[in-house]
């Protein structure tokens, strides 16, 4: 092979180099085409998703797990989220006593990988807005309508459980699993809130008044009991004293005789003889009995 060099030292442009250049161009073209084909035929399914394969929009029944997969150029892959999803819905409802209430409802739900093609075929990829939201609204409004406004506040846990049971049954028909739910907030019109607050204040005042009245009754009963105890104690003291005096008098009476009485008389006599005026004005002396 003869390679002729130009006098300025540049590479020759002979037939061999033209052939090599065409080969490189072909290789580059093939790589470009391969890259284009690969971009249409390769699909990556992220973790937590399942790929539903369709042929011209029709579900094939084939699903793809997370990872890198290849498909035909005419096929399409819809990625369905199989993770636990969290959504919140704000709903306007009415209680049994026709009070408007705003309920903020939180829902955790999930679809199984095996059910993705069925859900996509029957409902479509937007199953949340198509199925879940309407059913949440129906269940929340139906259950709230069974409670009056005050009970909606006091019975929030029971309310949430009832809604969750009803919603779980409904969404199970669409192969959607309810993981958990909660009522994150319940709000009323300002007029109703003011009325509830006023009622609570009135109830608190009533309770305070009843407590104070009961306290006064207890104090009065205690004071009465104290007085009764004191009176009983005084009566008992008088009784004991009287019984003691009676017993002493009895003993004194039993111990007295005629001689003792005479002695007591003389001990207490002042030495003056008593006089008695007669009917004619004459005075007579009272004879003092002689002592033995």
pLDDT in tens, 193-220: 555 555 655 666 777 777 877 888 888 8
The closest of 22, 153, 24, 182 to 89, measured between CA atoms, is 182
The closest of 183, 17, 208 to 101, measured between CA atoms, is 183
Task: Work out the pLDDT band at 7, boundaries 50, 70, 90.
Answer: very low
Residue-level pLDDT at 140: 94
Give per-residue pLDDT as tens, 19-45: 666 677 777 666 676 566 666 688 999
What average pLDDT does the structure give for the chain? 79
31 phi, psi to nearest 5 deg: -65, -40
Our CA angle for 54, 57, 62, nearest 5°, is: 15
150 close to 200: Cβ distance less than 8 angstroms: no
Give per-residue pLDDT as tens, 76-111: 999 999 999 999 999 998 888 888 888 999 999 999
Higher-confidence position of 159 and 210: 159
CA distance 160 to 151: 12
**Most confident region among 24-28, 43-47, 73-77, 147-151 by mean pLDDT:** 43-47
Mean pLDDT across 253-267: 66
Helix (H, G, I), strand (E, B) or coil at 70: strand
Task: Please provide the CATH number assigned to the domain covering 85-188.
Answer: 3.30.479.30
Q: Parallel, antiparallel, or unpaired for β 67-70 and 176-188?
A: unpaired
Q: Which residues of 229-253 are buried (b: 16+ CB within 10 A; e: fewer)?
A: eeeeeeeeeeeeeeeeeeeeeeeee
With residues binned 3-state (H G I as helix, E B as strand, rest as coil), the percentages for the chain, rounded to 5, are 55, 25, 25
């Amino acid at each position: 092979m003869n390679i002729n060099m130009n006098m300025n030292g540049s590479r020759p442009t002979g037939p061999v180099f033209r052939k090599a250049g065409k080969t490189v161009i072909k290789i580059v073209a093939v790589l470009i085409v391969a890259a284009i084909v690969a971009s249409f035929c390769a699909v990556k399914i992220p973790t937590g998703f399942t790929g539903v394969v369709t042929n011209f929009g029709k579900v094939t029944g084939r699903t793809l797990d997370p990872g890198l997969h290849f498909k035909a150029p005419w096929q399409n892959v819809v990625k369905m989220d199989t993770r636990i999803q969290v959504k919140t819905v704000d709903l306007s409802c009415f209680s049994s006593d026709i009070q408007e209430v705003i309920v903020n409802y939180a829902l955790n739900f999930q679809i199984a990988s095996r059910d993705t093609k069925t859900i996509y075929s029957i409902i479509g990829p937007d199953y949340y807005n198509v199925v879940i939201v309407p059913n949440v609204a129906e269940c929340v409004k139906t259950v709230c309508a069974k409670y009056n406004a005050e009970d909606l506040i006091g019975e929030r846990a029971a309310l949430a459980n009832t809604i969750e049971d009803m919603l779980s049954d409904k969404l199970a028909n669409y192969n959607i699993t309810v993981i958990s739910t909660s009522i994150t907030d319940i709000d009323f019109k300002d007029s109703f809130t003011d009325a509830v607050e006023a009622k609570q204040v009135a109830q608190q005042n009533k309770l305070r008044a009843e407590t104070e009245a009961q306290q006064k009754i207890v104090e009065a009963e205690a004071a009465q009991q104290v007085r009764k105890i004191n009176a009983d104690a005084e009566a008992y003291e008088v009784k004991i004293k009287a019984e003691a005096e009676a017993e002493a008098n009895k003993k004194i009476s039993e111990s007295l005789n005629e001689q003792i009485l005479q002695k007591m008389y003389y001990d207490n006599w002042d030495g003056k003889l008593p006089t008695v005026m007669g009917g004619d004005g004459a005075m007579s002396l009272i004879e003092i009995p002689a002592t033995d």
